[in-house]
Amino acid sequence: MKKPVIWITGASSGIGAATAKKFSKEGYAIVLSSRKEKELEKVKSECQYPEDCAILPLDLAEADSLPSKTEQAIQFFGHIDVMFHNGGISQRSLAMETEIEVDRKIMEVNYFGTIILTKALLSHFKERKSGHFAVTSSLVGIIGSPYRSSYAASKHALHGYFDSVRAEHFADNVAVTMICPGFIKTNVSVNAVTGDGKPLNQMDDAQANGMSAEKCAEKIFKGIKGRKEEIYIGGKEVMAIYLKRFVPGIFSKILQKAKVR
């Protein structure tokens, strides 16, 4: 019996690496992708069944290479069951201090790179009458917050795009799960770009005190297996979604006073 297959971008560290290990433990074959091949090798070695893990380096900013990368991903195990779009970059800079080239880079990686892979994989899912897109968004994919203007915009865009994909391909048995983490203890803030495109190189306090990537991966696995449309992961920061939804005026006042960085 063939193992189900999940392809994970951003698999070299953090949420991606933890999720790869969780799915391997649960009997999935894994295609591991990111820019960092050496780190992918390490993640593969730490999976429960490394013999069922394939490594496919890619850069989401290199749009022209992504359709052929999709073909390679399918060839490893003959099919893909779940595409976990987890690769991306974050931001820590005020909107007025962010160079437009940085805004464009964030959109190119987080949005365009993701949807190019999606377009390349949709025919495979449609032909098989089965498939699942899981997409790492963020709480700021639903709410905006200071220092994350273009990051929030890229994640908001993913929600609009994948809500449409879900509706368009319901009859093809293609599912979409939007994953909205809050503060997870990873290097996402360390690697976040600043206004001039340089990395922040420091850990946010909220990130440092956040949920472990392993616990986050457990929730992601459960959400994907349950074919949930949207899942919120984190601590008390998740309440921000409900405040925004039900009392937006009060939420705006809280956000204006908050020291969010």
Instruction: Give the position of tokens 């779009």.
Output: 85
Q: What pLDDT does residue 54 have?
A: 98
Mean pLDDT by 10 residues, the chain (261 residues): 94 98 98 98 98 98 97 98 97 97 98 98 98 98 95 98 98 98 91 92 84 97 98 95 94 80 58
Domain range holding 218? 5-257
Q: What pLDDT does residue 39 have?
A: 98
Number of domains in the chain: 1
Q: What pLDDT does residue 261 have?
A: 58
Give the domain CATH number at 99.
3.40.50.720
Using alpha carbons, select from 111, 119, 232, 127 the residue that is nearest to residue 165: 119
Q: What pLDDT does residue 215 have?
A: 97
pTM of the model: 0.95
Catalytically active residues, by annotation: 151
Q: What pLDDT does residue 254 have?
A: 87
Q: What pLDDT does residue 205 have?
A: 81
Q: What pLDDT does residue 256 have?
A: 84
CA neighbours within 13 Å on the CB side: how many for 52? 18
Q: What pLDDT does residue 109 have?
A: 98
Relative to beta strand 53-55, strand 131-136 is unpaired
